[in-house]
A and B are shown apart, each in its own frame.
Chain A
Amino acid sequence: DAEITQSPRHKITETGRQVTLACHQTWNHNNMFWYRQDLGHGLRLIHYSYGVQDTNKGEVSDGYSVSRSNTEDLPLTLESAASSQTSVYFCASSGRGSSSYNEQFFGPGTRLTVL
């Protein structure tokens, strides 16, 4: 069955370190999204991609970057981790189809702690 996976599921890092969170989907979806979820803020969009070599900034993109070299993967990089980036990160994807294009399917999440 098609799925979307994230790794690692839990990560502890130190302030200033570079961290990369992986997202891999086997839906063959062209759209991929990264969100962070914090108490009191719900899901906030970090970056998104509509296809290979396409990336776009979301509402909370400062300090994060993504690259899309193939259809299946959209890794999220924290260039220099800060304590404010402690959060739960979710990857999602959506694909072609007249009615399903907007239906996003989420991964299990990565809990990141920056000390």
Chain B
Amino acid sequence: GQQLNQSPQSMFIQEGEDVSMNCTSSSIFNTWLWYKQDPGEGPVLLIALYKAGELTSNGRLTAQFGITRKDSFLNISASIPSDVGIYFCAGQQAGTASKLTFGTGTRLQVTL
């Protein structure tokens, strides 16, 4: 099955740094979602995007729905240790009736 391409696959950053990650596809999506997964837990929804070009924030997190509708971006400002985890993007295509396609994940590790 199709999966979205996320990059980077993993990253080590220092506390206080800003983080950027992205998700790309060859297909057009109507909805983009960003999730965070902590070890031993289920993914938790962070941000949902519904319009091309839309920019949405949730605290220190900001996500954008790409103009081409084939990509999305997530930024985390001033990272803190609890930002550690795996970040997944997910997209919903037209005609798939609420089914999501998931990205491969970006593993974030924050050093003090």
Contacts and interface: CB of A to CB of B under 8 A. Distances in A.
B100 interface: yes
B42 A107 contact: yes
Given A90-B42, A103-B48, A108-B42, A42 B98 contact: no
A100 B30 CA distance: 13
B93 to A, nearest CB: 10
Interface in A70-106: 90, 92, 94, 99-106
A106 B99 contact: no
A59 interface: yes
B104 to A, nearest CB: 5
A87 to B, nearest CB: 14
Interface residues of A, number: 24
Given A106-B42, A106-B44, A44 B1 contact: yes
Contact of B33 (A33, A50, A103): A103
B112 interface: no
Interface string A31-50: 10100000000111100101
The 9 closest A-B pairs by CB, nearest first: A106-B42, A59-B1, A43-B102, A102-B92, A102-B31, A106-B43, A42-B104, A102-B98, A108-B42
Contacts of B40: 109
Interface of B is mostly: loop
Contacts of A100: 48
Contacts of B97: 50
Contacts of A43: 43, 88, 102
Interface string B27-48: 0001101010000111111001
Contacts of B33: 102-104
Contact of B3 (A42, A48, A99, A109): A42
A45 B1 contact: yes
A109 B41 contact: yes
Contacts of A106: 35, 42-44
A50, A94, A102, A107, most chain B CB atoms within 10 A: A102
